[in-house]
A and B are shown apart, each in its own frame.
Chain A
Amino acid sequence: MIGRRGGRIALIAMTAAIAMPGVPPAAGQQPAAPPPPGRATDTRASRVETAPIKGRQGAPVDLTGYWVSVVTEDWQWRMVMPLKGDYSSVPLNDAGRRVADTWDPSKENACDQYGVGGVMRIPGRLHITWEDDQTLKIETDAGQQTRRLRFDPAARPSATRTLQGFSKAEWKGVAGEGPCGFDGIGPCTPPAGPPPRPKWLPLKVVTTQVRPGWLRRNGVPYSEHAVITESFMRYEAGDQPWFTVMTIVDDPAYLTQPFITSTNFKREPDGSKWNPTSCRAGT
């Protein structure tokens, strides 16, 4: 039998636990619906959020400058024109395959390949600049596209879908998901005051309102329903600055699961190799 005092301690401990982020809900609370297979969300992610960091002023890393893609992966689909019907590696569903099989090789230079879902995979150079304090601009020489990554929380997309869509950006990591409690196990509480700002963070970008485009130059499609989530990760390789952008294309219309790639860029000293080439619209 649990004594009166023992019961009180248990009650207090439970109360304290409920107040701690990340602890499973107590009995009687409505649990969140389980995520669909393959699209699970880590419950640990909700423990402690890092404070929102503003655009240019808060940038923990410098992504500006001229960057060149270094194609060490998917070379045969990126550096040369892939064969019609070659959608190896892409988790296309039947509808996606049907669309890909209609691709016409005469559309080789179509602008569809430079949409936000595929443009970072095209070999070329990027010029990244701050257009204003809340907008990071990415220009591509291949296809001459311009992407605007908007940090302003109040920014809203227009009703028109575009090739580059509407991109919301924030410097956001998973700090707070890190090991908590004893040996990283169990509940934890954020320290008093605002959480410390990490020295390094990835840049998270979520793009919606897209026009249909191609994941590959041979017409492997994504639809207007696609949501493109990116994480720009800056690092050094030897003494040279690089970044890798991890891209998740989530398209229930044409994909059986989110399509995940990561693409590597090396910084160049200047724009002397910038070589703009246009694409053909209206395909």
Chain B
Amino acid sequence: MKASPLSTIALGVVMTVSAALPALAQADFTGVWIPRYHEDYPERIPGPDLGDYQGLPLNSAARQYADSWHPDRITLPEEQCRVHVSPYIYRGPVRLGIWQERDPMTRELVALRHRISTYDQDRTIYLDGRAHPSPYAPHTWMGFSTGTWEGEKLTVTTTHLKKGWHRRNGVPMSDQATLTEHFIRNGDVLTRISIVNDAAYLTEPLVKSEDFVLQREDIGTRAWMFNCKSVVEVDRPEGVVPQFQLGENPFLDDYRKRFQIPAVGIRGGAETLYPEFARKAGASAPASAPRPAAASTAAASPSAGDTVEILKVQGDVYLLTGGGSNTVVQVGSQGVLIVDTQVAALADKVLAAIRTLSDQPIHYIINTQADADHTGGNAQLAKLGPTRPGRVPLADSVGGNNTATTSVIAHENVLNRMSGRVEGEAAKPEGAWPTDTFFGESTEVFFNGEGVQVVHQPAAHTDGDSIVFFRRSDVIVAGDVFLTTGYPVIDHARGGSVNGVIAALNHIIKLAIPTHNQEGGTMIVPGHGRLCDEMDVVEYRNMVTIVRDRIQHLIEKGLTLEQVKAAGPTADFDPRYGAATGAWTPAMFIEAIYRDLSPARGKS
């Protein structure tokens, strides 16, 4: 029997449609979703009161941080456009748009995209099986997310989060936190279940859930906009960070009294989340909890070891990690410029990494300070300048370097210490010494098409610190005035001071410009740890300033060093920055600041 033209065409239509069918087991989340605030309304819409930590499995470090947090903090220009991180932002007033991102050639589903109206956030959840980035990669408000399907449940794992809130009345979430989410659709209701692990501030995972309803009416374009431009709202001296001094927040009890909530309940804690607590809810308990016992999540670079990893920062600038400290490399047609050279033992590996980026001579080495973990590779790498074997010495200067050898740039105090001219300092091998020193405020070179500023930061970590600013690439190398791995080391013996560190951090903040809502833009490489942007420096500046101001306050009250230590001025930051043992403990940090600020320096 011969098929009719009609049936042939119909079959063709059906076959074409069928061939395009993907697996049907996955739920469709695309659309616009509006949250329901039928739970935790006071927190989610008007906003939580100070001292309200109910329902959170906090440790006492988190409580101390939140007790001390002052609402005036959000008037600081650099805090005004602070975005709620992805674990928290869905609890607020948001419009959530979800759509698919597909490979333009294969049409395979690559990711789900979330448009979150609050703070103008676009979040990507990759579904293509890619790995999470290096531990040294920058952290963002939304983090880096990958998803997998289990039947109709989409499970999303997020890492690389910035520091944020577990609750926006000052309850901190650390930048070490990770997020797991389950997205499940039930008809017109989308449920998001979130599980936050944060060893710095939580004693057990924080599990919450929110519900969204599918929106069918057009809500207009403007409803998706949330432009934030920071301005100076309050005229303050540079670097002021508002806080309540320890034990002096007068508002902590207001909410509890208004709603007649037991003191121990309002302070949160895992023990208050279970039914046993409801039975003894009438019991009174001290409003202040004991000092934190949280384990530190800090004190080491993400994977400090003997390997060197390369990350592109931006422009012509790369980050080489390994051995605990950071090296930065700028490469271009004129050659190679290095900032800091790590320990001597890693020099071969650092060089091998550089050679994957460029085979050009190393014209410049810049040292941000004199420590061996920043200058250890100088001697070996400085041999690879324009006159290295097989290359003809340059006839003309390159970027001002007409020495026909590698120019090693540093503040003169670095040379003084490395050459043993300062009493008590052992001289390093001469081949490692700076060859091109400066005194005063700064020096500069123009190399590979961009201006590079080397700016002295007086009396900070030591007396020889510099930051290095790549002006076209928009990258600042901070040296050891900024670390993501621990408290700043204040080396009194080498001319360091806490106020110098804070001044250096404020200088970096002034130079850096974020792209949008306090994220991206100028990138900052710390002396140790992961790649950062301005907001990460702001968090660090806030921490050092708060601790400094607390110790100053306690000194003014007449406390001895031991009494100051016992008051726990770093207790809320120790889980993130403090290492109980090792070369630089919280007690040593406190003592350095105490001696620095004492009227008679050195007196305890």
Contact = CB atoms under 8 A, between A and B. Distances in A.
Contact of A12 (B9, B27, B182, B273): B9
Contacts of B109: 179
Interface in B48-89: 54-57
Contacts of B552: none
Interface in B1-37: 6, 9-10, 13-14, 17-18, 20-28, 30, 36-37
Contacts of A199: 25, 150-151
B17 A189 contact: yes
Contacts of B6: 8, 12
Interface string A91-126: 100000000000000000000000000000001110
Interface string A233-266: 1010110001010101000000000011111101
Interface string B106-121: 0101000000000000
B207 interface: yes
B300 interface: no
Interface string A160-195: 000000000000011111111111101111110001
Interface in A212-242: 231, 233, 235, 237-238, 242
Interface stretch (B240-248, B256-264, B361-369, B572-580): B256-264
A79 to B, nearest CB: 5
Contact of B38 (A8, A195, A261): A261
B206 interface: yes
A183 B107 contact: yes
Contacts of A204: 186
Contacts, number: 229
B533 to A, nearest CB: 30
B213 interface: yes
A196 interface: yes
B184 interface: yes
Contacts of A73: 39-40, 55, 208-209
Interface residues of A, number: 82
A96 to B, nearest CB: 13
Contacts of B102: 183
Interface in B352-388: none
A207 interface: no
A190 B23 CA distance: 10
B254 interface: no
A202 B184 contact: yes
Nearest to B268: A75
B187 A45 contact: yes
B197 A238 contact: yes
B278 interface: yes
A20 interface: yes
Interface stretch (B188-196, B391-399, B470-478, B588-596): B188-196
Contacts of A248: 189
A76 interface: yes
A40 B20 contact: no
B349 interface: no
B265 A173 contact: no
Nearest to A141: B275
B38 A260 contact: yes
A31 interface: no
Q: Which of A38, A70, A202 has the most CB of B within 10 A?
A: A70
B10 A16 contact: yes
A177 B193 contact: no
Contact of A173 (B10, B20, B151): B151
Given A180-B21, A196-B24, A235-B155, 4 more contacts: A69-B275, A70-B273, A89-B41, A181-B21
21 contacts: A60-B151, A68-B275, A73-B55, A75-B54, A80-B261, A86-B259, A123-B277, A178-B24, A182-B20, A198-B25, A200-B150, A200-B151, A201-B152, A233-B182, A237-B180, A237-B195, A244-B209, A246-B211, A260-B213, A264-B209, A266-B207
